[in-house]
Amino acid sequence: MIRWTLRLIAVGYVLALVGLPVVTVCRSTFSHGWAPFAQALGNPDLLSAAELGVGVAAISVLVNTVFGVGIAILLVRYRFPGRRLLDAAIDLPVSISPVVVGVALILVYGRTGWFGGWLERHGIQIIFATPALVLATVIVALPLVVREVVPVLAEAGTDQDQAAQSLGANGLQRFARITLPTIRWALAYGVVLSLARSLGEFGAVRVVSGSVAGQSQTLTLFVNANYQEFGPEAEQAAFTAAFLLMLASVAFIVVIAWLRPKEHS
């Protein structure tokens, strides 16, 4: 009896928090059938936003994968002054609000920021342009790869690496043949998490983007901008974009669920 009650509460909780909003978005997207949905898909601003959003997410994931693996190896295998500080700093993006990240970026790279003058003189625009979107997304998703890879690396230890050394493998060969296969599932998991986080990022991106339709709008910004506009067309566009984002999330959840058990075998 208690077990059933607990189950009911758990399922109800999840339904109310996740299920209902999902259903609402789906219903609103298709409330007038397929035609408006298909039409909204042809909206040039939506397409451009999707392209930019995916592009920014892809670059951020690439950057975070390369540096994430590098930082994880550094943290696990080397002892150096400042190591614990680095370790703590990696987690900072989790605890700070993304909005603060965005504001901080403006304070550093904005027109009146630390590097603003220099950047402007050399004709480089970061804030209100794609570089700022990438920077913001990279920072926000930074810990995800690192935190997945570190425990796996730590558990594997250095014996295999040393064995490979004594068998004649150089650093690159050891990384490709030993380290990478050892962390592959954790890394894949981290990459999918980062991709999901990057695609869905809103707060930091909102601050540094300027949100110009067709130029510096990612999908999340597009949803926000159109939802706040009046008119059925804008609303349909907002729901269509939201639906796309949701579709991507579901795909990620499936991939993550599929990756997860392998991580432990």
Partner 1 sequence: MGIRATDITKRFGDFLALQDVSLVVPSGGLTALLGPSGGGKSTLLRIIAGLEYPDSGAVEIEGVHATWLPPRKRNVGFVFQHYAAFKHLSVYRNVAFGLEIRRRPKAEIKARVHELLELVHLENFADRLPSQLSGGQRQRMALARALAVQPEVLLLDEPFGALDAQVRKELRDWLRRLHDEVNVTTIFVTHDQEEALEVSDEIVVINHGRIEQVGSPTELYDNPANDFVMRFLGPVTSLGGRLIRPHDIEMLPGPAPDAIPATLTQLVRVGHEVRAELVAGESRPWVNLTRGQAEELQLSPDAAVWLRPHPRASTLPAPDRA
Indicate whether 95 belongs to the interface with partner 1 (CB under 8 A): no
Q: Which of 19, 117, 151, 181 binds partner 1 (CB under 8 A)?
A: 181
Contact window for partner 1 (CB under 8 A) among 47-55, 69-77, 117-125, 170-178: 170-178
| Closest by Cα among 42, 40, 51, 25 to 218 | 51
Tell whether residue 24 is a contact of partner 1 (CB under 8 A).
no
Among 160, 215, 224, 249, binds partner 1 (CB under 8 A): 160
169 contributes a contact to partner 1 by CB under 8 A: yes
Please tell me whether residue 136 binds partner 1 under the rule CB under 8 A: no
| Neighbour count for residue 264 (Cβ, 10 Å) | 6
- Check residue 259 for interaction with partner 1 (CB under 8 A): no
Q: Are 253 and 260 in contact (CB under 8 A)?
A: no
Burial readout 200-236 (b: 16 or more C-beta within 10 A, e: otherwise) = bbbebbbbbbebebeebbbbbbbbbbbeeeeeeebbb
143-155 exposure pattern, b = at least 16 Cβ within 10 A, e = fewer: bbbbbbbbebbee
Among 43, 64, 137, 182, binds partner 1 (CB under 8 A): 182
Closer CB to partner 1, 179 or 218, in the complex: 179
Which lies closer to partner 1 via its Cβ, residue 27 or residue 177? 177
Nearer to partner 1, 174 or 197 (CB): 174
Q: Does 178 bind partner 1 (CB under 8 A)?
A: yes
| Stretch in the footprint of partner 1 (CB under 8 A) among 2-10, 54-62, 167-175, 226-234 | 167-175
Query: In this structure, which long-range contacts are made by residues 201-204, counting pairs with CB atoms below 8 Å and at least 24 apart in sequence?
Result: 201/98, 201/136, 201/137, 201/140, 201/141, 202/98, 203/97, 203/98, 203/99, 203/101, 203/102, 204/98, 204/99, 204/101, 204/102, 204/105, 204/136, 204/137, 204/139, 204/140
CB of 178 to partner 1, least distance (A): 6
Which residue of 17, 167, 172, 257 would you call a contact of partner 1, by CB under 8 A?
167
Three-state DSSP state, 182: helix
**With contacts defined by CB under 8 A, how many residues of the chain interact with partner 1?**
17
Q: How far is the CB of 56 from partner 1 (least distance, A)?
A: 33
Binding site for partner 1 (CB under 8 A): 156, 159-160, 162-170, 173, 177-178, 181-182
